[in-house]
Structure 1
Amino acid sequence: MTSRNGTQLVLQTQDALWGSKPVETTLEVAAKEVDCEGLPAAASGCLWVRELHYVLGRRVSASDWQRFYGPIEGYRHPPGAHELVRVRHYPLRLRDRLVSAYALDYATPWTPEPTHENGSAGGAVAHDRP
């Protein structure tokens, strides 16, 4: 849009900004960050994440836990918070290599369902009853 004095207003979506269509992904972000292997000691910690997908309306793990290097645009991990984070992943080609950009859709606190992996399955959970 252009005003009478020639000032232009350009509206740009993130898709246009990154020049590619995003792949929407849901990540489970662990409460604690981990050391970033292969990066200088001065670098901040990496997120510990795994990808989730839906099966019959339930979230299930689609990957093993792994380090997440780099930022997610619009997201800052609150210390000690276990979260469910929906991101838009933009695969980009930079010269001769494939790189990625991630942008936040939403983040919400999340308590994972008990599993053998997190040590909660198979045991009774005590509840106070009146």
Structure 2
Amino acid sequence: MRARQVRWDRNTKTCLGSWHLLTNGIEGYTHNPGRHEIIAVQAFPLAERPRDAPEYAYVMQWLRVSVIPSLKQLPDCVERDY
């Protein structure tokens, strides 16, 4: 699954950084192939982990937007690299 950090402020979506492959998944979330979804996620640092293990555990807080790409587009993003 590809992921990207996004911040919302008064209905303005600001993208931080670029898309990356999220290999360790998100607890409480199941990806729906064919849908584009924006979810709120909380990241928890993982202590005492092997060097090749993920740095964070991600837990879904809530689903913000879910659309079928051919029917509707996700809100545009203001690009920002921080």
Kindly provide the CA deviation profile for residues 49-105 of structure 1, in whole angstroms up to 9, marking residues without a partner as x.
111113554011111011111121110001111000111100121157573111110
Deviation, 1:114, is: 4.8
Distance between the aligned counterparts of 1:61 and 1:89, measured in 2?
17
CA distance in 1, matches of 2:49, 2:6: 31
Say whether the 8 Å CA contact 2:13–2:76 is kept in structure 1: no
State yes or no: 1:58 paired with 2:12.
yes
Number of positions where the alignment pairs a residue of Structure 1 with one of Structure 2: 70
Does 2:66 match 1:109? yes
* Runs of 5+ unmatched residues, structure 2: 68-72, 78-82
Matching residue of 1:86:
40
CA 1:55–1:92 in 2, change beyond 3 Å: closer, same or farther? same
State the Cα RMSD in Å. Answer: 2.5
Misfit runs of 4+, over 6 Å: none
Q: Give 1 or 2: higher strand fraction.
A: 2
Say which one has the larger Rg.
1
CA contact 2:6–2:13 (8 Å) conserved in 1 = yes
1:112 is paired with a residue of what secondary structure?
coil
Q: Deviations over 1:9-46 (max 9, x none)?
A: xxxxxxxxxxxxxxxxxxxxxxxxxxxxxxxxxxxxxx
Instruction: Name which structure has the greater RCO, CA cutoff 8 Å, separation 6+.
Output: 2
After TM superposition, the score normalised by the length of structure 1 is: 0.45
Partner of 2:70: none
